[in-house]
Structure 1
C-alpha cells in the first residue's frame, strides 16, 4: 500500500519547531497540539496533520485542548509508522472514533483547523490531509491524473496505510464530491459521511439541466474547461486579487493570503484546476444510492449549490439522513461557521 512516515514533515522536529506559513499543516498542528505527517502511496506522497481526541465522545466528556498524538507501528516495517487508528474506526490506544476531513477548492487541509479542534475536544481523533495536487509530493502533471476515480482511490489507499478499516468521513466542496463517490463505492468503510456544502452530484446535475440559475452558477466550471491557462493567469494577476475575492468576507484576510501565496507557487493552481478539467474526460463513475448514515450541511447563501440542489440531496440517500441549513452562510462553511459545522458533525458521530 505504500510507506508511511509520521515523524513529521520537518526532518524529525516537532510541529511547534517548524517555521513557515501560519496556516500550513505544521502551524495548524502546533496550535492544535497535534502533529504533521507524510504518507506515501505508490509514487505519491501526501501531507497532512492529525490530532488525538480527548475525553469520551459517547458521554461528551471532552477536555479543552487536544493532546499530542502517539503514533503506532502499522505493519512492522522499520522506520514506518501509522496513525493511531485501527479496527472499527477507533484509535488503537483510546477506543475513540476517527474522523477523516477532506478539503476542497481552493483550500487546503488547514481549512479544517477549527473543526478539528472541536472534534478533538469532543473525544474524536482527527486526520486531515492535502489532496492530490495540493500536496507537493502528490502533484502529477496530466489532467487525466485528477479524475474522481483517482481521488477516491487515494483516500482508500491512505486509510488502509493509516490502519483504518471503518471511520467517519467529512468532506467539503471537492472533498464532498469525493465523499459522495466514496460512500457509494465503499459503504462498508464508513460509519458516517458528512458533506459540507456539496449537494449530491446526481441531484446537482439534474438541477443544472433543469434550473437556469443553477446552470449559470456553473459558469466558472465551463470557463476552466474552455481556457484553463487564461483562468489561472487571471486568478493570479495583481497578487492574486481575483482568487482572493472568491472567499468574500467568509474567510479571514490572513488565511486568504496564505491560500493565495500557496496557489501562487509553480503548478499548484494548475493542478487544482485540473479537477474540473478531468470531469469532462468521462471517467466519473455512476453513483448508486447512498447506504451510509449521511449528514448534509448547507449554507443558504451558497453560490455554487442552489436550494433546489440541496433539497434534492436526500432523495439519493437510503439510510439515516439529516439536512442542516445554516441561514445566511456561504459556501465556505468550515471557516465561516466552524461551530455550527463541528457541532452538527459531533452530534452525528455520537448518534452513530
Structure 2
C-alpha cells in the first residue's frame, strides 16, 4: 500500500510517495518534467510488495516546501545534493537509484559524483549526458529534437503552457498518459510559482565540465517513439558506462514510459535489481 511522506532536508521538506517495509532494500525513484512522484505510483507499489523500500519524491520545485524562485538554485549540484540529502534523511547509506527524463539526468550525475552511494542505476529515456552531447554536436536528428529547449527557457513560456486549460501540456502527453493524471499535473503546475519552478530546471546553467563514465551497474531503457531522444544518443550511451550495462529498447512506446507501460518497465527494473 502506498503511503505519503514528508522528507525534511536542509533545503526544505520534500513530499513523497512510498511503499514497502522500512527495512527493505532502498530504492529512490526520480520523476521528470512536467510530472511528479505519482508518475511512479505503479512501480513504487509493486516494489513495495516485493519487499523493497521504494520512495519517489516530488523533486525540487515540484514540492511546495522546496520551491526557490531563483533559476540558479536548480543547477545540477543542487539537484544531486537533494538526492543525497533525501537518502541521508531516510538513513540510506547505499541505495538503488531510478530516474526518468530530468530525473534521469539527475540520476546520471549522482552516479558520476557519488558512485559509492549507489548499488545500481536505472535510467529511463534520458541518455548519458556525454552521449547526448556527442549527438547534439554531430547528429542533425538530435539537434532537431532538442530545439524545444531554447523555447522553454524563454520568459512567457508559463503563460503559453497553461493557456486554454493547459492545452500545450496536454498535447505534450499526446494521449499516452491518462487524462485524469494529466489533469492532476496541470492542477499542480497551476499553483503559484509551480510551473516557473519546473521550467527553472531548463533555465539554470549547466556544468561546463564533462561528466565521466559510470562505474555503477546500469540499466538504460529507451523507447523508439521518444520525441526528445533519438537513437544516436541512446545507442551511444553504452560507451559511457564502464560497469555492468544492460540496454533495453521498447518498440512503439513514447517518451512517457513509466506511465504508458508501467508493467513492462517495472519488470525490467525488478530483473535489474534482483541481479545485483
Question: Is TM (by shorter chain) over 0.5?
Answer: yes
8 Å Cα contact 1:191/1:292 also seen in 2: yes
CA-to-aligned-CA distance 1:248-296 (integer Å, 9 cap, x gap)? 1110011011111111111101000001111xx2446531110000000
How many residues are paired up? Answer: 276
Please point out which of 232, 241, 246 is paired with 1:308.
232
SS at match of 1:327: strand
- Partner residue in 2 for 1:203: 131
Alignment of 1:34-49 (within 5 A): 34-49=2-17
Residue 231 of structure 1 and its aligned partner are, at CA, apart by 1.4
SS at match of 1:191: strand
State yes or no: 1:345 paired with 2:273: no
State yes or no: 1:234 paired with 2:153: no
- Partner residue in 2 for 1:255: 181
Please point out which of 155, 178, 201 is paired with 1:275.
201
Inter-partner Cα distance in structure 2 for 1:283 and 1:44: 24
Structure with greater strand percent: 2
- Partner residue in 2 for 1:325: 249
SS at match of 1:46: strand
- Partner residue in 2 for 1:215: 143
Q: 1:170 to 1:284 in 2, by over 3 A?
A: farther
Q: Once superposed, what is the RMSD of the aligned Cα atoms?
A: 1.1
Please point out which of 9, 12, 19 is paired with 1:51.
19
- Partner residue in 2 for 1:127: 55
8 Å Cα contact 1:147/1:284 also seen in 2: no
Residue 137 of structure 1 and its aligned partner are, at CA, apart by 0.6
State yes or no: 1:335 paired with 2:226: no
- Partner residue in 2 for 1:70: none
Please point out which of 204, 207, 213 is paired with 1:289.
213
Inter-partner Cα distance in structure 1 for 2:174 and 2:217: 32
Alignment of 1:49-88 (within 5 A): 49-52=17-20, 84=22
| Gaps in structure 2 of 5+ consecutive residues | none
TM-score, length-scaled by structure 1:
0.77
CA-to-aligned-CA distance 1:55-100 (integer Å, 9 cap, x gap)? xxxxxxxxxxxxxxxxxxxxxxxxxxxxx3xxxxxx2xxxx32111
Inter-partner Cα distance in structure 2 for 1:303 and 1:263: 22
Inter-partner Cα distance in structure 1 for 2:48 and 2:252: 27
Please point out which of 97, 100, 117 is paired with 2:25.
97
8 Å Cα contact 1:293/1:320 also seen in 2: yes
| Gaps in structure 1 of 5+ consecutive residues | 1-32, 54-83, 85-90
Q: Which moved more, 1:257-266 or 1:33-42?
A: 33-42
Q: Which runs of 4+ in 1 moved over 3 A?
A: 282-285
SS at match of 2:92: coil
TM-score, length-scaled by structure 2:
0.97
- Partner residue in 2 for 1:4: none
Inter-partner Cα distance in structure 2 for 1:34 and 1:117: 6
